[in-house]
Structure 1
Amino acid sequence: MTEQISCFPSAEYHESSSARYWNDVPYGSTRLNLLDICVPKRQPEDASQAIWLVYIHGGAWRDPLIDRKSFKTALDMLLEDDQPHNIAGFVSVDYRLSPYPSHPILPSSPSDDSRNSQHPEHLDDILGALLFLSTEAGRYILCGHSCGATLAMQATALLNGGRRGTRPPVALLGMEGIYDLNALVAKHSHPAYREFITGAFGEDEGTWITASQLCCELQKWQGNALLIHSINDELVDMQQTDSAVEKLVIQGFTRTTAAPSSVKNDGRRVSKIVIDCMHDEVWEQGTELAKAIRSVTDESWIPNTSSATC
């Protein structure tokens, strides 16, 4: 991985006592096609069990103030943890955003090609980032918060179908995700919900349905999914996570309340965990995000079968 990154002189490199960092690594043509990479100096004892964690930020597909740097608080907590781990590296990804001309601090401009995107362009960027990383990163887990969880699930569905030449993740971690666009707008009467959904997916509600269905099209995926939602999430209702769990169960996933057995873990497990914080406190405080990442990167969550990575 480090040899590949060193080919990009624009990447900012620095070290700390615990990790090596490559920031602002370009993977595409716009100013938001950037990712940050962190490689802990303390690597997994068993290299064959090494896992990369790829984080996708939220922000309703449009908020310029919630970006790849929002992962830093949780990342710092994970690096300070001296417990044994399987994480070979962390990646936090930026992607093109949808228009937000009414943003109070950084309104979007029609001339900015990085902030006038619509589905599936956000998803295309995530797939492009994963393709960029695929040669060196090996096995990985996709993690996303809010609309980042949406993108993580959609990307897994497409990659499991053999698209883009990139293997799917071995596990998914969705934090307070949006998995049913139509239900979200129907549930919340505030006009901001319809505004950001139409900004990201257009006016045609049929497109919303198709994009939502893609979230849970994981019939053949052999990985495990950990879906987490806060009982005090004031922006995204828990029914989003509940409905996603039910859809996966219908597709043959086994519902579990604990980590799959490391001995008999053949994949296709889904678990829901309830936490207690506000929506953005997941990444602002970092505690719950770091805790969830520790759980999902544990060996017990990684399927024994190699088919999850084919």
Structure 2
Amino acid sequence: MHGCEGEILKYGDDVFQSVTVFPPFSSSKRLPWFIYIHGGAWVDPNQDKTMGYSLIQNTVPNEWGAASINYRLSPSVQHPTHLQDIFDAIAMISRLYNVSNFLIVGHSAGACLALQFLKKISEFSQSYDTNLQIPEISAIVCVEGIYDLVELYSEYPNYLYFIEKAFGDCHEDWRRASPCHFDWDKIRQFSQAKIFLVQSLQDELLSMRQVLLMKEILQSGGCDCEFHTINGGSHDETVQSEALASLFQRLIKES
């Protein structure tokens, strides 16, 4: 597994605009990169890029590069600033390293950001922006993700505190930002990335409602989608679980 020591790089002036990179052993050829985006409901400073380190060190082979991203949090910023930070971090990695393709992993709010990122770069492609040079995304793995903010509020009214901090108080803005409401047929024309949806059966913060909605939307949009349930423990334990590491080891071997 990945034995390189991580190096912290800055992609902006804010303290949260940093990424820890684990470069591949070889830099002379184009190689896959594993990208981790942490959760924390867009607001929790205790959830950061360190959450991805054990997954990288236990599952990512030395021949790959890997990175775990920090981004600015609400209420200091609101959507789409979190997404812009993810974009800027991945664009920096694309410039600095010889990347063949990305496998992007997002947990909770990070899963939402990963799918928002795919939509963002598909829109750049459709506008023929020649300055955009992001390598292919081969797969996105969404672990215990938030996919529909309106439905999330309907199921968990007490989550309003972080939804409004991150997205404001307009429900239409929530809908537009939610992956369940993206035009997946249009995104699929840009990218053939396979999307994996992973949910721990012991998750106490999110029921199966979010992931089943997303699964239905992706399948109806013709996307290549695979759904897994695992015994990963509680919401915050799942990223560190043996069950998730085992699933990733299989996905990486097949990629």
Do they fold alike, i.e. is TM over 0.5? Answer: yes
Mapped to 2, the partners of 1:248 and 1:68 lie a distance apart of: 28
> What amino acid is the match of 2:22?
C
Cα displacement string for residues 266-294 of structure 1 (whole angstroms, at most 9, x for unaligned residues)? xxx210000122111112x3423322322
**Are residue 235 (structure 1) and residue 205 (structure 2) matched?**
yes
**Are residue 98 (structure 1) and residue 74 (structure 2) matched?**
yes
Name 1:158's counterpart in structure 2. 120
Name 1:256's counterpart in structure 2. none
Give % identity. Answer: 31
Q: 1:156 to 1:168 in 2, by over 3 A?
A: farther
> What amino acid is the match of 1:201?
F
> SS at the partner of 1:290?
helix
Name 1:3's counterpart in structure 2. none
Note the 1:27-38 alignment, pairs <5 A: 27-38=11-22
Name 1:131's counterpart in structure 2. 91
Alignment size in residue pairs: 241
Instruction: Measure how far apart 1:249 and its partner are.
Output: 1.1
Q: Which of 175-184 and 160-169 deviates more?
A: 160-169
Cα displacement string for residues 172-228 of structure 1 (whole angstroms, at most 9, x for unaligned residues)? 100000000010110013x2x000001000000110000014656333221111110
Name 1:177's counterpart in structure 2. 145
Name 2:214's counterpart in structure 1. 244
| Structure 1: runs of 5+ lacking an equivalent | 1-16, 80-84, 100-115, 254-268, 303-310
Instruction: Measure how far apart 1:295 and its partner are.
Output: 3.0
Cα displacement string for residues 51-109 of structure 1 (whole angstroms, at most 9, x for unaligned residues)? 21000000000100110011122233226xxxxx585111000000002xxxxxxxxxx
Pick aligned residue for 1:60 from 29, 41, 53: 41
Instruction: Measure how far apart 1:170 and its partner are.
Output: 1.3
**Are residue 69 (structure 1) and residue 50 (structure 2) matched?**
yes
Structure number, greater radius of gyration: 1
> What amino acid is the match of 1:225?
I
Name 2:110's counterpart in structure 1. 148
Note the 1:8-47 alignment, pairs <5 A: 19-39=3-23, 41=25
Name 1:296's counterpart in structure 2. 251
Instruction: Measure how far apart 1:21 and its partner are.
Output: 2.5
Q: Which has the higher helix share?
A: 2
> SS at the partner of 1:139?
strand
Q: 1:169 to 1:32 in 2, by over 3 A?
A: same
Q: 1:87 to 1:227 in 2, by over 3 A?
A: farther
Tell me, yes or no, if the aligned pair for 1:176 and 1:229 is still in contact at 8 Å.
yes
> SS at the partner of 1:65?
coil
Q: 1:239 to 1:121 in 2, by over 3 A?
A: same
Q: 1:63 to 1:87 in 2, by over 3 A?
A: farther
Mapped to 2, the partners of 1:73 and 1:272 lie a distance apart of: 23
Structure 1 vs Structure 2 CA RMSD? 2.3
Pick aligned residue for 2:177 from 211, 217, 220: 211
> What amino acid is the match of 1:250?
S
Q: 1:18 to 1:128 in 2, by over 3 A?
A: closer
Tell me, yes or no, if the aligned pair for 2:230 and 2:244 is still in contact at 8 Å.
no
**Are residue 197 (structure 1) and residue 197 (structure 2) matched?**
no
> SS at the partner of 1:297?
helix
Q: With the length of structure 1 as denominator, give the TM-score of the two structures.
A: 0.72
Mapped to 2, the partners of 1:87 and 1:282 lie a distance apart of: 25
| Structure 2: runs of 5+ lacking an equivalent | none
